[in-house]
Structure 1
Amino acid sequence: MPHQASMDNSGATDIESLLRTVELVTLPAVTLRIFQIIRDPQCSIEQLSQVVRTDPPLCVRVLRVVNSAQYGLPRQVNSLERAIALLGLSGLKRILIAANLTGLCPEGQITNTVYAQHIWQHSNAVACASRILAQRLGHETSNAYVAGLIHDLGIMLEMQVRREALASTIERVERDHVDFMAAEHQALGFNHTDLGRALCEQWDLPDDLVAVTAFHHDPMAAPVEHRPLAGIVHISDVLAARNGIGYSGTVGSHDLDPVALEYLNLDEEAVAEVEAELRNNLEHRG
């Protein structure tokens, strides 16, 4: 399993410099305003609902999530204020990220063989597998889906602001068969887990999502309370790579962390069933 490369001071400085501009590039005004309101400890549901109402598709998404089977409410919720209260601030943040993530993944060619859509395909597959695995383990499925979707958030940002360095990293990994994060660190001074974690922290996302972006390659290094979700995404990451879905050069070894498997009480048979369900779901999606 690849180890997380340590980030030197220059790498940390580079990330800080990137993050001063990337938020304005990647998130729409409504999302930025909601994040700003949420950061205020005195914020009210009324303030949030007023801003959410300015984005009709976001209103629909919020109400759809609250009225889904996951919440199991006895009657339909039609009030936006009530929906936001049920979601909580963390739940609202997750919806915002899921709604806006496609905008973080620009189109176009990265190398002769890898396109931006391949990164997005991989993230979608990891999200799908994470949801399947979470359901099997009795964890919250929507949270696992969002965690899988954003696990390579750092790669998506590198495509925007350090595309040449990302391209050289991908080419070197393909040519020399070196570890992706080691090559990435040499090219950038940091890696995608460093960058993803820093952006999640800047956006004040829930701690479990921060942990997933930071530790999906080494889930047992995550804080204890976040190891289950980090483990779910780690396994899903490997399953997507094993099945050749999108670009999976970031994954390195296709071997699952045996400690993570034991931690989640999973055996190879259970993993194979999840893998089969993942393939079936993606085939039906077309």
Structure 2
Amino acid sequence: MLCWNLENNGQGDPARRRAGDELLRQLAPDIAFRQEVWDADANGRTIFHEQARALGLQGVLGAGSCTAVFYNPAKFSVVRDWTDSRGPRFVLPPTALTLRYEDARPHALPLNAVSYHLNYASAVQRLLEAEWLTTWADKGWTTSDGCCHALPAIFAGDNNSYAAGMPGELPLPDLATVKNAPHRLHRSYAGPSGERLPDTRPDTAFRTAGLEDVARYWATSPHGTANALARTVNACDTHGPDSRVDRIYITPELLPTVTGFEVIEVDGDLSDHHLLRLTLDAELLADVLSPVMRR
């Protein structure tokens, strides 16, 4: 099973949008997490339906065309759409679906798939949004035998912030070298002494809630590669160095199903963010979702 994540800043240009869709179609994903699908809801969601046809997938478009989740209907079906229960907590609302994996055993657990885009301008708002997102890692599901299980979950999105340092990780920016003063503010927060610090708090919040950064996991796996920690946004004069602001987090029980993770660089005409591709083992996923295997 393939999952990929791409922010589409070329959405407003039909030619660029179709080129991006073609790139993604060639990867044949089973779940696709999207951000910034602007105008996809216009004219009765004409653009959104066009993209679904181009990808050969079905999907759900979140409020304001901020995010979307596409899925392969031969592999997944929607059990619950959380769009209307998002509340007033997000500037750019996420798209969150509970999906049933069709190849799993009868009465297997579904899983949650969440596409999100944390706020660009406020570290305070980002932390609030990250904390609320973790509620989808805490959803219970009662099986036919009366047992309640926490649902596995996958979160993919643009964090507009940095990952806390680890060996091999891209270094945090020296804020003094970021030439754009508003951007220095947007990507930092005030520490205890009042000094501005690069914002890593959403990453810390996700991991405090027990979620795993798949790139970190794969980079340290015996079968993993250093590319897992590659940049997802290129350096520029005003905004600072290469950074890994786009990340995929999963609940721990899904870690054994991971068989690959990579960053695929895309042309800047298609997006100013690169593409993340996560590969899961289908049989192991079916086992993880089996209530018998999870007791």
Shared fold, TM over 0.5:
no
What is the TM-score when the length of structure 1 is the normalising length? 0.28
Give the structure with the higher percent helix.
Answer: 1
Give the structure with the higher percent strand.
Answer: 2
